[in-house]
Amino acid sequence: MKILRYSKKYESLLFDLLAGEGPGWSVYYDSAGRERYIRALETSITYIACDDGLVWGYVRCRADDGFGIYIYDLLVRKSHRGRRIGKSLVQQVCRDFPDQRVYVMSDEDSYYEKIGYHRVGSIFSVNL
Ligand SMILES: CC(C)(COP(=O)(O)OP(=O)(O)OC[C@H]1O[C@@H](n2cnc3c(N)ncnc32)[C@H](O)[C@@H]1OP(=O)(O)O)[C@@H](O)C(=O)NCCC(=O)NCCS
């Protein structure tokens, strides 16, 4: 397995991964979301885990100008889960930004607790 920095040449492989995940991630690949997500990828720091022309997983994050790296998306292909790919992707982010704290916007607290990360806050959705 290789972990590579994402670039546009991997776009169709990445969308293949997203589509394989099903409705939970369709906001990123349906007709309304795909172009928006392509723009988000252009302004994000994204890594893919891949081999043999297949993207096995990816992590997408943004840097807050020296005040931390925030992970927004982490996904591993269903057929490739349980091989530490998720953890390896996050570790790659940490390796490439050794002077920054790395934070995860979690949708799956049990996973991050299992791999030893600790909670430093919560996210609230603001309703006016
Ligand atoms: C969560 C996810 C990224 C984990 O990827 P993965 O590569 O299969 O995970 P790892 O192999 O790094 O798992 C490491 C350990 O965490 C455990 N684990 C995996 N998913 C877990 C979960 N949802 N809850 C608790 N533990 C979990 C594994 O069993 C493994 O345990 P072990 O060390 O005892 O074998 C993957 O299941 C996924 O893509 N899920 C759907 C999207 C998602 O939920 N993303 C995260 C929210 S932003």
The domain ranges of the chain are 2-114
CA distance 5 to 43: 13
Helix axes 11-21, 34-42, angle to 10 degrees: 130
CA distance 17 to 58: 9
The answer to whether residues 78 and 21 touch, using CB atoms and an 8 Å cutoff, is yes
Model pLDDT, residue 52: 80
In total, the chain counts a number of residues equal to 128
| pTM to 2 decimal places | 0.96
pLDDT tens, position by position, 43-91:
999 999 999 889 999 999 999 999 999 999 999 999 999 999 999 999 9
The answer to whether residues 93 and 47 touch, using CB atoms and an 8 Å cutoff, is yes
Residue 27 has which token pair?
A: 């906001």
Nearest alpha carbon, ligand 1 atom 29: 82
Nearest alpha carbon, ligand 1 atom 27: 111
Atom of ligand 1 nearest to the CA of 87: 12
Q: What CATH code would you report for 2-114? A: 3.40.630.30
Q: Is 79 in the pocket of ligand 1 (CB under 6 A)?
A: no
Nearest alpha carbon, ligand 1 atom 5: 86
AA letter at 85: I
Nearest alpha carbon, ligand 1 atom 14: 84
AA letter at 31: S
Q: Is 22 in the pocket of ligand 1 (CB under 6 A)?
A: no
Q: Is 61 in the pocket of ligand 1 (CB under 6 A)?
A: no
Nearest to 89 by CA among 23, 27, 17: 17
Average pLDDT value for residue range 114-127: 93
